[in-house]
Chains A and B, each alone.
Chain A
């Protein structure tokens, strides 16, 4: 319930049908954005696996993905966590883009 006022949820791609059960796969960039928002080390470990499967190579590109899927108020509420996640994944802003 709470997540719906924090994100913009994309349509998934139908992956499998099991009778009445339809399983959709979300875009990888969307999952990446959620994991950056969560910011736990286990999420960041997943980000390290996801990143090479996307076209995201820089902190700025990651921010574009966040802007696409995470609503501004949620980004504001979780600004410290997001900044920390991006620092870990791309290096801090003072260290420059990798």
Chain B
């Protein structure tokens, strides 16, 4: 039986079918960072496809998925597929994510605008800069810290955190 490859297109179709977006994107992240990391271009090469019903929810998450692909391809030195630059993946109005309790809170919105990476901001998606932080790469960075002679867990943590910040943002 062939194993499902959780591509970004697959994640988006799951979201459109009613799956929790963070569950669908979490499945994609498992593929990207772990079991399919040697085959990353295949995870992002297919366009997202059109949803059965075009709604604000599906448009927002399409923009998010396209921005994610551009962001990740840039971070990991891959050629970015052309489909992500389709203007349909740019929102007409800014979206700050679904978690903010007070959408009139200028401090929160300003922080989001300042910290959202360019591929997201250009598409009017302002979800901050911690979207793709993960623990998959932590072990590699810890090993790296050890090879540099560190043994104090606190120093090793700082080293790993610096690597994380350099790659994914603070």
Given B107, B130, B138, B153, which contacts A39 in the complex, CB threshold below 8 Å? B130
User: Given A1-B153, A2-B153, A2-B160, is A89 in contact with B130 using a C-beta cutoff of 8 Å?
Assistant: no
Tell me if B166 is interfacial: C-beta within 8 Å of chain A: no
Q: A39-B130, A80-B170 are in contact. Are A45 and B107 (CB under 8 A)?
A: no
CA distance A89 to B108 in the complex (A): 10
**Those of A28-85 within 8 Å (CB) of chain B:** 38-42, 44-45, 47-48, 73, 77, 80-81, 84
B132 to chain A, nearest CB (A): 9
Q: Are B111 and A41 in contact (CB under 8 A)?
A: no
Best-buried of B25, B105, B160, B161 by chain A (most CB within 10 Å): B105
Q: CB within 8 A of A84: which of B26, B111, B131, B158?
A: B111
Of the candidates A44, A92, A93, which one forms a contact with B99 in the assembled complex, judged by CB atoms under 8 Å apart? A44
With A2-B156, A45-B22, A88-B99 in contact, do A40 and B131 touch (Cβ < 8 Å)?
yes
Interface string of A3-41 (1 = CB under 8 A from B): 011100000000000000000000000000000001111
Q: How many residues of B contact A (CB 8 A)?
A: 30
The reply to whether B98 and A45 contact each other, CB–CB distance below 8 Å, is: yes
Tier of interface size on chain A:
20 to 34
**CB of B100 closer than 8 Å to a CB of A:** yes
- Interface of chain B residues 115 through 130 with chain A (CB within 8 A): 127-128, 130
Q: A residues within 8 A CB of B131?
A: 40-41
Q: A41 to B102, Cβ gap below 8 A?
A: no
